[in-house]
Amino acid sequence: MAESLSPRLGTDLAAGLGRVAAASLRDVADRLHTALSDVWPHDALVIFTEDCTGRPRKKAGDPEITKNVTISELTALRDRAAGGHWEGQAEFGGVPREVAVLGSETGAVLVLSAPEVPSDGDRAAFARAAWSVAAASIARQVAEAAPDYLQESRAVTSERLRVTAELTDRHVTDLESLLATLRTRDLDDARARAQAIDLAADALIRARSGADLVAFIAEEPVSRAFERLKSDLRPLSRYEALQIQFIEPPPDSRALPGEVAHAARAIVRSAVLLMRDQEDVTRIRVQWNCDGTNLLVSVRDDGPGRMDNGLPALRQLAARATALGGDLDLESVENWGSRLEVRIPLDPPDTSEEPVESWGLAPREAEVLRLLTAGRRNRQIATQLGISENTVKFHTSQIYNKLGVTSRAAAAALATEAGLR
């Protein structure tokens, strides 16, 4: 008969569940890792959520595992779980490992490395509940689009570069395998050609799915973003005497960065709720437009026209726009109504000099990074700088740590984005 939870452990688990529910996006992986440690021990934990455009991977546990986990691995594991639960051996952190994968209603995925099976039904139920709470909390925070989340999302566009770098590394490996097959003398022409065709077909599938994934994480078509907004607001006009008019954005408008789409939906949802709470409001018009540089949002009601910028809720909306370099303007005319106009730039401001300074690179490390970015290998860098290859490897390791990357391709991508020459 399974041993039931002791009162003390039950209290500790409840407290852990509360900490998971209250966790920020930055802390949620660590808190979930701690909460599960007594009921589902594991070496490392990774959460993968495409909705969180800034950091789709959230990690905790053994850094030797988590630092090597790739988007491609997580995508494959998500597909195996198919929204449910899957356990077995799979590529994780660059090597085959025993993993457990849990899906969620929000589409987020939890992966545990070297997990132990929960010892009884109560512990298993707690583990599933803790993950459900974490997934729901992540989805809620992304939907709310708080100013600090939007700032982080815009600031960590380097994550998208790292995803691209990972996929590039994988494509390079595929091409090297293809060339090795064609050059080998161990196979006759027919067998080499057949094997090369198989390798090329697999590589093409990975390339297409990888490109789709990068695009999905990086941006959202404006028409799809607007449809999601309409879906969110539809219940208000369905069950209340309120008409919401939607003026569609041009279908050929530029796609929206993920953080811009999140912010725009959150601002419009909050604005509509504020306007609805006034007296005598029967109609609200929502319009999005895009001039190629900015997303332009307009929300107008037919109410009494007494809204003012002093409302705390409006200050929160302005803070969301400001977090992305945009602005918000309210115009209210008595007996005519109120109109909220929002402008959000689609691109972050040019801060090419700031990241380099913030990395804290020593002069020699900056020289190594410049040469690395130019495509030089370790031996070439050593010769050009008059140092040993081991010294180059040491500097490269320090550069990776300071930039928060794990490969030459990712370091070079960041340096290129920052304008390092």
Q: What is the pLDDT of residues 77-119, one digit of tens each?
A: 999 998 889 999 999 998 999 999 999 988 899 999 988 877 6
Identify whether the C-beta of residue 299 lies closer than 8 Å to the C-beta of residue 264: no
Residue 345: predicted pLDDT? 92
**One domain for residues 226 and 306:** yes
**One domain for residues 136 and 49:** yes
**One domain for residues 60 and 189:** no
Determine, yes or no, domain membership for 363: yes
Identify whether the C-beta of residue 77 lies closer than 8 Å to the C-beta of residue 57: no
110-141 tens-digit pLDDT: 999 988 877 677 778 888 899 999 999 998 88
What is the spatial distance between Cα 216 and Cα 241, in angstroms, rounded to a whole number? Answer: 36
**One domain for residues 129 and 239:** no
Range of the domain at 405: 353-417
**One domain for residues 140 and 12:** yes
Q: How many domains does the chain have?
A: 4
CATH number at residue 358: 1.10.10.10
At which of 144, 175, 193 does a domain end? Answer: 144
**One domain for residues 203 and 314:** no
Determine, yes or no, domain membership for 149: no
**One domain for residues 169 and 186:** yes
**One domain for residues 67 and 26:** yes
Residue 257 binned pLDDT confidence (cut-offs 50, 70, 90): confident
**One domain for residues 47 and 173:** no
- The residues, ordered by sequence, that sit 6+ positions from 132 with a Cβ below 8 Å of its Cβ are 104, 105
At which of 144, 165, 190 does a domain end? Answer: 144
Both tokens of 42, joined, read 């594991």
pTM of the model: 0.55
What is the spatial distance between Cα 308 and Cα 332, in angstroms, rounded to a whole number? Answer: 7
Element (H, E) at 44: strand 44-48
**One domain for residues 170 and 294:** no
